[in-house]
Amino acid sequence: MKYIPPMAWYRRTKMALLALLTLPACGQNKPSTSPTNYDRLLRTLYRNTVPVVQPTQLAATLTQKPGTVVLLDTRTPAEYRVSHLQGAQFVDFDSYEKNTFADLSHDRPVVVYCSVGYRSERVGERLKALGFKDVRNLYGGIFQWVNESRPIYNAAGLTTDIHPYSALWSSWLDKGRKVYE
């Protein structure tokens, strides 16, 4: 796994975002199966080293088989405090490489997520390297989850608050109340 320094990752991500933001608003009359700008962005960010699970699929599994999936929120402590998926365990992205995840069963399905799926894919790679059998990355991250009007929670319960990571990334959030902590 190649380490990308934070500033290099930021510059690469910023370039990808700027390229996408300059695309003309074409395809508005095309069927909904055509990729959105958000899908195009995710294609530039994902390495495809961890299979994805669509929010619709995850929501169905969480409803039909509660407690079978381990949810790992791989964002920062501030992002997690603002909101997260119900029942998600916090995994600090800044220290995940040292984490052995000894408290998790290697046989249970694990779904990792972050804002858009980039950081969680790195954590998913680590889990796979440690021998976890069924690891998936939530497609589009918590942003996609919120944009599809799915519920998020904080310590007080159900909320509409969502941490947008940064002003640059906030443009990908269509729903929820943007809260920087």
pLDDT tens sequence across 112-171? 999 999 999 999 999 999 999 999 999 999 999 999 999 999 999 999 999 999 999 999
Pairing relationship of beta strands 161-162 and 70-73 according to DSSP bridges: unpaired
Q: Looking at residues 37-41, what average pLDDT do you find?
A: 95
> Tokens at residue 86, please?
């119900």
Tell how strand 52-53 and strand 177-178 pair up. unpaired
Q: Is the pLDDT at 78 greater than 90, yes or no?
A: yes
Q: Is the pLDDT of residue 50 over 60?
A: yes
Query: Largest Cα–Cα distance of the chain, in whole Å?
Result: 50
The pTM assigned to this predicted structure is 0.82
Specify the higher pLDDT residue, 4 or 78. Answer: 78
Could you give the CA distance from residue 152 to residue 118 in angstroms, rounded to a whole number? 20
> What's the pLDDT at 24?
39
Dihedral, CA of residue 161, residue 164, residue 165 and residue 167, to nearest 10: -140
Q: Give 56-77 as a DSSP string.
A: HHHHHHHHHSTTSSEEEE-S-H
84 has a pLDDT exceeding 60? yes
